[in-house]
Structure 1
Amino acid sequence: MVNKYGIEALDRTMRDILRFNNSRSEEQPFGGKTIVFGGDFRQILPVIPKETRQEIVNAIINSSYIWNSCKLMTLMKNMRLEGANGNQSCRELKEFADWILSIGDGRCGRSMDGADNVEIPDDILIKEWDDPIVAICREIYPEMMSGMNCDMQVEDRAILATTLELVDEINRYMKSLNPTEAQTYFSSGKACPTENNNDILASVHILELLNTIRCSGVQTTT
């Protein structure tokens, strides 16, 4: 996700610094030092506001002059499969991982009218449902629907959601299935000022405002 200009700036800086100890460093990538880049081109590209698709693609490292000096190394061992219990589970995970990779490599599906159509396997597809939240919760946590003790199943499984609002809906529904009596804990909260003489900011960042902030990675407590 790093813009190629940042990498090229590092390259020029290291060449400039290291040339005082070794004159040949000025002609070597990163001054002759080995640099390891970790990432996956199937994931998100650099975020460049208000730029076109072509300009965004042109900002990644394989569009840089540095790329010609890079050696591409691919991870060959799937660590999730290594931790799978049982041959059946390992085989299922491998088949799913290979299917996901085939989509990323463009080997899965067919192109029609300029759009790529990918067929979803039946074993991971929910075909019939009235309420989507109820349907996916029933599919992922069938033991909870039948009232069984499913602590281990809850720990080993998860539902991915696209928005925080959808996360809250799923959490509310799952909590409604919990037969345990609810406990209410009361607390008090206040905004901790970073500076003693900053009354203006303290009056702006009131608890009501802070509790309305809803974004990934931020948690507010009252």
Structure 2
Amino acid sequence: MEGQEKHVYRTLIARLRSEGKIVFAVASSGIAALILQGKRTAHSRFEIPINHEENSTCSINQGTQLAKLITRASLIIWDETPMHHRYAFEAVDKTLKDILRFDDLNSSDNPFGGKTVMLGGDFRQILPVVPKGGRHEVVLASINNSYLWDYCMVFNLKTNMRLNPCSADISTSNSISEFSKWVLDIRDGKIESISREEDGEPSWIKIPSHLLIHGGDNPIGEIVSITYPSFHNSYKDAHYLQERAILTPKNHTVDEINSHMMQFVAGEQHSYLSSDSICKASSNVADQDMIYPVEFLNTLHFSGLPNHVLQLKVGNPIMLLRNIKQNVGLCNGTRLIVTQLATWIIEGRIITGKNIGTKVLIPMVILTATESKWPFVLRRR
């Protein structure tokens, strides 16, 4: 369970660092990296290639300060590991073996060069994202299909820490406990499921009636009114926003929900237009600007990138999609409330993580998209 994991991490880190030992704490996502002091993303700390392959290695050279620090480390804690592709772990494994071979002749025979590594996470949550991959490809990309898994010892944490604060209200505690058990039963495959012809295997379950929104000609309006009651009066309340979120697997549904909720936020709406271009280094095709004019690039939608037109109001809750400045809490997944909209910059107040209440500036950022269906790399500023 998540609460127990973080307690174990903090205890180990505090004990070892009190003895003057070095502990590396990394996470697979930017938002998870904010939870523990001194934690960074694994990609940032170990310089893992963004597009890693089977033979990839990290960009850490012998004799550098980072290489010397890794040599002295007593423990490496890697949180949210199931989210990462197994090639990322194998890249770190090969790199550590190379770095440590001058200090330990047997490093090439031991996983991670002989360093003690604690991998934490829940395989029933988010697994590696494989673009256009099915269940088979996702399972093959997981860490437990790596050669490193044979060296792992598995420890299970079983107590749900979220249930403890509810003990004062018996009915609420029982309700949360029942829901928690139902979710775990789904994850463990204990709920009766049915299959559709196109799926070929049982994968659809029936959701209890009391968890569904029934009727209505406006489903988006219904779920918004239930999830965000009195939104027009409470959208500036950080605590109110922290406790609520609407999740959807489709980006176009996100756009519909955002457009619907925008009408409840008072004030003038500002429209920011992106500057789109094709990365010249991504293709050798001549006259590519003629083939794909800017007007066409503006119409493209990519996963993980804002659309060409970004519409905001002061008071809007927003979420960052990139790591900008992690030490002040500006990383992928950070949620903020817009406090000021300028021509070239946006000011916001952080409402998640350790930097709650801090006002920060979000500058223009160049984002790239590399979806394979297009023969070019889009640069969107």
Q: TM-score range by the shorter chain?
A: 0.5 to 0.7
Is 1:105–2:181 an aligned residue pair? no
In 2, distance between residues paired with 1:127 and 1:82? 32
SS at match of 1:183: coil
Is 1:4–2:86 an aligned residue pair? yes
SS at match of 1:36: strand
Q: Which sections of structure 2, spanning at least 5 residues, go unmatched?
A: 1-82, 196-200, 280-286, 311-381
Is 1:47–2:134 an aligned residue pair? no
In 1, distance between residues paired with 2:132 and 2:151? 29
Alignment of 1:1-222 (within 5 A): 1-42=83-124, 43-45=126-128, 47=130, 53=136, 56-76=138-158, 78=160, 87=169, 89=172, 91-107=174-190, 109-112=191-194, 114-143=201-230, 149-151=233-235, 155=241, 156-176=243-263, 178=264, 180=266, 182-184=267-269, 206=294, 211-219=298-306
Residues 74-113 of structure 1 show CA distances to partners (whole Å, capped at 9, x for unaligned) of 4456565567796355554443333222211112x21456
In 1, distance between residues paired with 2:204 and 2:134? 27
SS at match of 1:47: coil
Partners of 2:93 and 2:112 within 8 A in 1: yes
The Cα of 1:120 is off from its aligned counterpart by: 1.4
Partners of 2:193 and 2:206 within 8 A in 1: no
The Cα of 1:62 is off from its aligned counterpart by: 1.5
Question: What RMSD, in angstroms, separates the aligned Cα atoms of the two structures?
Answer: 4.4
In 2, distance between residues paired with 1:92 and 1:122? 15
Residues 115-170 of structure 1 show CA distances to partners (whole Å, capped at 9, x for unaligned) of 245231232112323232232223324445xxx84445952322222323222322
The Cα of 1:70 is off from its aligned counterpart by: 0.6
In 2, distance between residues paired with 1:67 and 1:26? 16
Partners of 1:110 and 1:116 within 8 A in 2: no
Q: Greater relative contact order: 1 or 2 (C-alpha under 8 angstroms, separation 6 or more)? A: 2
In 2, distance between residues paired with 1:128 and 1:184? 32
Q: Which sections of structure 1, spanning at least 5 residues, go unmatched?
A: 195-199
The Cα of 1:213 is off from its aligned counterpart by: 4.6
Cα gap change, 1:124/1:9 in structure 2, threshold over 3 Å: closer, same or farther?
A: same
In 2, distance between residues paired with 1:79 and 1:104? 18
Identity value in percent: 35
In 1, distance between residues paired with 2:99 and 2:298? 49
The Cα of 1:30 is off from its aligned counterpart by: 2.0
In 1, distance between residues paired with 2:261 and 2:123? 36
In 2, distance between residues paired with 1:131 and 1:45? 34
User: Normalization by structure 2: what TM-score?
Assistant: 0.42
Partners of 2:107 and 2:113 within 8 A in 1: yes
SS at match of 1:40: coil
Cα gap change, 1:160/1:10 in structure 2, threshold over 3 Å: closer, same or farther?
A: closer
SS at match of 1:96: helix
User: Normalization by structure 1: what TM-score?
Assistant: 0.65
Partners of 2:276 and 2:298 within 8 A in 1: no
